[in-house]
Amino acid sequence: MRYFVPSIYAEQPHEDRSPNYSFYPTRTALSALEQVGFVPIRAMQQKSLRPGQQGFGKHLIELCPRNELGYRRDGTARTIILVNSHNAACSYTIMAGLIRFVCENGLISGDIDSTLRVQHRGEVIENVVAGSVRIALAAGRMADELESWKSIYLTQEDKLRLARYAIAERFDLDMPGEVVDADKPKALTVYNPLSALIPRRGEDVGDSLYQVFNVVQERLTVGGRGGITGRNRRGQRRAARGVTGIDKTVLFNQRLHRLAQEMAAVRG
């Protein structure tokens, strides 16, 4: 991680920060989380075009309980999503999450009770670390929520509605269904919601909210042939790019989680 995500190991903020900027070292939080059993399983860092910023920029680390690594291949495991920076690119944020080992898709909770967000000013690092540990220990509540989704069944109309709104959230659309390709603004790509409902594995075949949620999440997160496909104005088949950026990863997962929660409230 030190080579690919150097910001994790910064020992001070970037030199352009004022004396009022509070430095919350990511490594200190990771050490505290490791003491309660969470170990890193994934990390990424936002690229910066500004000279000297690469070792201080926004970064994301996903941690999982050590005793759940590799043992629940057909189920889920608790995760902690930690986002931080040392150049004022973002606030310190830690969220409870859930990961399915079968497809390695990460579900990030949008529940405010399971999220800690701290601006880089005024707080004491000990309080930030203590809050991070509290979020980690509370992550198990999400497993209960997803378990309840397994007994909520959706009609085909429900599935299409969820897929349409998920597409709208994925591409920041006011109306579901259409998105302008970022590389070719004149080429309008229309994504068929049915494309987001095609399971890639046998255990995801079914009508439960849990199964449909996982299918939609994977189709809209993964790029290439495994992701959602559509056609542009010329009728050419287009596959959406995968979600890779830190901001987009967090935001889309939170939005999709809320959509599923709303569906559960209606059908539960």
> What is the span of the domain harbouring residue 71?
6-146
Residue 1, in any domain of the structure? no
Looking at per-residue confidence, does 247 or 177 come out higher? 247
Closest CA to 240 of 250, 249, 253, 227: 227
What per-residue confidence (pLDDT) applies to 183?
Answer: 53
Residue 34, in any domain of the structure? yes
Domain identity same for 184 and 245: yes
Residue 261, Cβ neighbours under 10 Å: how many?
Answer: 18
Domain identity same for 155 and 219: yes
Q: Note the pLDDT tens digit of each residue in 209-245.
A: 999 999 999 999 888 878 888 888 788 888 888 887 7
Domain identity same for 99 and 192: no
3-state secondary structure of 166: helix
Q: How many Å apart are CA 37 and CA 104, to the nearest integer?
A: 20
Domain identity same for 217 and 260: yes
Residue ending a domain, choose from 96, 117, 146: 146
Domain identity same for 112 and 190: no
Q: How many Å apart are CA 23 and CA 14, to the nearest integer?
A: 10
Q: Note the pLDDT tens digit of each residue in 104-114.
A: 666 665 554 56
